[in-house]
Amino acid sequence: MKVITSVPEWKALRPKLPASLGLIPTMGFLHEGHLALVRRARAENEAAVAWIFVNPKQFGQGEDFTTYPRDIERDLHLLEGERVDYVLAPTVEGVYGPGFQTYVNVEELSKPLEGVTRPGHFRGVATVVAKMFCLTQPRRAYFGQKDAQQCAVVKRMTEDLGLLLEVVVCPTVREPDGLAMSSRNVYLQPGEREAATVLYRALQGVAQAFRAGERRTENLRQLLLATVASEPLGTVDYAAVTDPETFAAIERLGARGLALLAVKFGKTRLIDNIELTP
């Protein structure tokens, strides 16, 4: 496994690598959710490159950029175990050099939900992902369904800019009690950790109601809110039931839908979602 931190070094290397490169973009502090993406990338491509970069441009004022968990040695050890070929772990200056001023904005999809609580977040995400795609020129890039709106933003950008790669969305990997794996789970205090299972319980309740025939989004949303309200340590940031493609607020769902939650436990904000299928 070759670890590269210098962007010029990577640029010199890329032309020598296979066209069928699988990219796994991450902010590090890896867990089984990330490793599932890594395994799939390895299986489906000639070589796999993991990107580790805590992207300052996707964190807002007062968010956790400086305290975001980091452990590069542990990450490299895990990636070595998965037989990843390349790790690209650039510095902030390497990605955003002096005079940097080019941004990518996916206009409508960036506005609701995460975009309300975290203005500018998806502009930062789309910008870094565009840069990463340009630098690595992957055949396929692997993302997790846990960040459903991010997947939609990245897919839209890829289509809109005519990028020649496939965006592969992989299922959410969960702890045995249903909590979606997340680097931020380490922030949870012991009582909060148990309480955090309420996200998955609430989402499952809605998936069940959908299967039983409920299509009115407001009823499904109220069900989400009622379940989360049963957990005093959790404070809802948003609860939404939307069209899975557009994330638009609609009154009734069709054949499919998406239920999403953002809930705070103390200082830790967790997100999760479930696809609604008959």
Dihedral sign, Cα of residue 60, residue 63, residue 67, residue 70 = negative
Between CA 216 and CA 221, with CA 217 as vertex, the angle to 5 degrees is 125
Told to check if 37 binds ligand AMP by CB under 6 A, we report: yes
Site for ligand AMP (CB under 6 A): which residue of 4, 34, 209, 242? 34
Q: How far is the CB of 171 from ligand AMP (least distance, A)?
A: 7
| Whether 10 contacts 87, CB under 8 Å | no
How many angstroms separate the CA atoms of 156 and 30, rounded? 26
Site for ligand AMP (CB under 6 A): which residue of 172, 185, 268, 273? 172
Please list, in sequence order, all residues whose beta carbon lies within 8 angstroms of the beta carbon of residue 60, skipping any fewer than 6 positions away: 118, 119, 120, 121
Q: How far is the CB of 36 from ligand AMP (least distance, A)?
A: 6
Question: Per the structure block, which two tokens stand in for 76?
Answer: 């490299």
Which region among 93-101, 165-173, 220-228, 245-253 touches ligand AMP (by CB under 6 A)?
165-173
For ligand AMP, the closer CB: 71 or 214: 71
Told to check if 114 binds ligand AMP by CB under 6 A, we report: no
Of 254, 227, 231, the residue nearest 239 (C-alpha): 227
For ligand AMP, the closer CB: 96 or 253: 96
Q: How far is the CB of 58 from ligand AMP (least distance, A)?
A: 9
Site for ligand AMP (CB under 6 A): which residue of 22, 33, 90, 124? 33
Binders in 12-31 for ligand AMP, by CB under 6 A: 26-27
Number of residues that bind ligand AMP (CB under 6 A): 17
x-or-dash pattern for ligand AMP, window 115-154, by CB under 6 A?
Answer: ----------------------------xx-xx-------
What are the angstrom distances between the C-alpha of 191 and each of 188, 194, 199, 235? 8, 6, 15, 14
For ligand AMP, the closer CB: 106 or 253: 106
Binders in 173-192 for ligand AMP, by CB under 6 A: 173, 180-183
How many angstroms separate the CA atoms of 28 and 157, rounded? 23
Q: How far is the CB of 190 from ligand AMP (least distance, A)?
A: 21
Please list, in sequence order, all residues whose beta carbon lies within 8 angstroms of the beta carbon of residue 134, skipping any fewer than 6 positions away: none
For ligand AMP, the closer CB: 64 or 214: 64
For ligand AMP, the closer CB: 180 or 223: 180
Please list, in sequence order, all residues whose beta carbon lies within 8 angstroms of the beta carbon of residue 230, skipping any fewer than 6 positions away: 198
How many angstroms separate the CA atoms of 240 and 177, rounded? 23
For ligand AMP, the closer CB: 169 or 223: 169
Q: How far is the CB of 115 from ligand AMP (least distance, A)?
A: 17
Q: Which 3 state secondary structure label does DSSP give 152? A: helix
Q: Which residues are catalytic?
A: 34
161-190: b or e for each residue (b if 16 or more CB lie within 10 Å)?
eebebebbbbebbbbeeebbbbbbbebbee
Residues of this chain that bind ligand AMP (CB under 6 A): 26-27, 33-34, 36-37, 143-144, 146-147, 170, 172-173, 180-183
